Amino acid sequence: MTGIDRPRRLRRTPALRRLVAETTLEPRHLVLPMFVADGLTEAREISSMPGVHQHSLDSLRKAAAEAVEAGVGGLMLFGVPLAADKDAVGSRASDPDGILNRGLRALAAEVGDATVIMADTCLDEFTDHGHCGVVAPDGGVDNDATVERYVEMALAQAEAGADLLGTSGMMDGQVGAIRDGLDAAGHLDTGILAYAAKYASAFYGPFREAVASSLQGDRRTYQQDPANRRESLRELELDLAEGADIVMVKPAMSYLDILRDVADRSTVPVAAYQISGEYAMITAAAERGWIDRRGSILESLTGIRRAGADIVLTYWATEASHWLR
């Protein structure tokens, strides 16, 4: 071995490592997913996601202000209606007085333009059967009827002050229909963060508790098969053609190859969602003392950035932002 073959030379000191680091992780890259639940007077911790809460409108405002103070890039809001308010078509999702739209108005009032306010544009929290759309008589999820409901939901969210709409339902044509609907109503500045590649994942488990999901069965007729890679490129192309402003890959950690494929081809910014099960795994292992919590969190976020994400949705957004400042 000669002096030429010694890559360790650049790893010797923190200063050398900092000089040659390829991937950066900054608070502005991180988006905090938040849950606002109807009927709560104070925040309630989600048992399968220690440290993550269903918020009341008041505690939502407080947590949002903290996140913005920490420098996060944005907030993604999910709504949890009262069980009694769920119905077959998720009426409360498009009702201006539904909990998600009230939460969006509260966020807009609290943080305004200091961060980017995003809304989950999907029906699953609001339907009594728990599916992301309208169920047809044959038991399947009716794509086109669902997309019509998404457009109604999108208009209510734009009115409520969302900057970006997170189309997470995996219905065909949802991005184009929402874009048309927004434009027709004069919401030219409301953008779409399209979940382009979203897989039917077992790692969504804790989220189902977070939103008190009513789902029986699974979402395999609309979310993608984890076995497939090429299909994500088709989903990407369609979402770009339909007017997506940002595209997302979800989940993140088991799909880093997909993230890289999408990042290599996308003409718009790329996001990735480090989902509830990913949060729960690291949290549980760290609680047992099996892994170092802070190191694992930062490494996982760096890995997602390195794979190609410009933006990372993570339940650690506020905490990690404090570390990174």
Residues annotated as catalytic are: 198, 250
Per the CB < 8 A criterion, the answer to whether 276 and 315 are in contact is yes
Q: In this chain, which stretch among 92-100, 117-125, 143-151, 238-246 interacts with ligand PBG, using CB under 6 A?
A: 117-125
Kindly give the residue spans of alpha helices, DSSP state H, lying in the chain: 14-20, 57-70, 99-111, 143-160, 174-184, 205-210, 230-242, 256-265, 276-287, 293-306, 317-324
- Selected from 276, 283, 318, 321, the binder of ligand PBG by CB under 6 A is 276
Question: Closest separation between CB of residue 231 and ligand PBG, Å?
Answer: 17
Q: Which of 204, 222, 255, 316 binds ligand PBG (CB under 6 A)?
A: 204
Residues 315 and 31: beta-carbon distance below 8 Å? no
Our CB check for ligand PBG shows the closer of 214 and 265 to be: 214
Beta bridge partners of 44: 54
Which CB atom, from 145 or from 265, has the smaller least distance to ligand PBG?
145
Paired strand residues for 87: 127
Nearest approach, Cβ of residue 292 and ligand PBG (Å): 23
Between residues 195 and 262, which has the closer beta carbon with respect to ligand PBG? 195
* Count of residues near ligand PBG by CB under 6 A: 10
Say if residues 80 and 127 touch (Cβ distance below 8 Å): no
Q: Among residues 56, 101, 168, 266, which is the contact residue for ligand PBG, using CB under 6 A?
A: 168
Binding window for ligand PBG (CB under 6 A); candidates: 50-58, 120-128, 133-141, 259-267? 120-128
Q: How near is the Cβ of 204 to ligand PBG at its closest, in Å?
A: 4
Query: Is residue 207 close enough to count as binding ligand PBG by CB under 6 A?
Result: yes
Shortest distance (Å) from residue 170 CB to ligand PBG: 8
Closest to 120 in 3D by CA, of 177, 160, 83? 160
40 near ligand PBG (CB under 6 A):
no
Could you give the CA distance from residue 309 to residue 12 in angstroms, rounded to a whole number?
28
CA end-to-end distance (rounded Å), the chain:
41
Contacts to ligand PBG from residues 125-164, by CB under 6 A: 132
CB nearer ligand PBG, residue 122 or residue 268? 122
Q: Which residue sits closest to ligand PBG, CB atoms considered?
A: 207
Instruction: Give yes or no for a contact between 63 and 36, defined as CB atoms under 8 angstroms apart.
Output: no
Q: If binding is defined by CB under 6 A, does position 59 make contact with ligand PBG? A: no
* Amino acid identity, position 147: V
Calculate the alpha carbon distances from 288 to 38, 251, 284 in Å: 33, 24, 6
CA separation for the pair 193, 239 (Å, rounded): 10
Neighbour-count burial for 174-184, b at 16+ CB within 10 Å, e otherwise: bbbbbbebbee
Window 213 to 232, contacts with ligand PBG (CB under 6 A): 219
Q: In whole angstroms, how close is the CB of 276 to ligand PBG at the nearest point?
A: 3
Does residue number 94 form part of the binding site for ligand PBG (CB under 6 A)?
Answer: no
SS (H, E, C) 265-287: HCCCCEEEECCHHHHHHHHHHHH
Ramachandran area for residue 15 (φ above 0: left; ψ -120 to 50: alpha; else beta): alpha
Minimum distance from residue 275 beta carbon to ligand PBG (Å): 4
Does the footprint of ligand PBG cover residue 235 (CB under 6 A)? no
- Minimum distance from residue 322 beta carbon to ligand PBG (Å): 21
Query: Which residues bind to ligand PBG, rule: CB under 6 A?
Result: 120, 122, 124, 132, 168, 204, 207, 219, 275-276
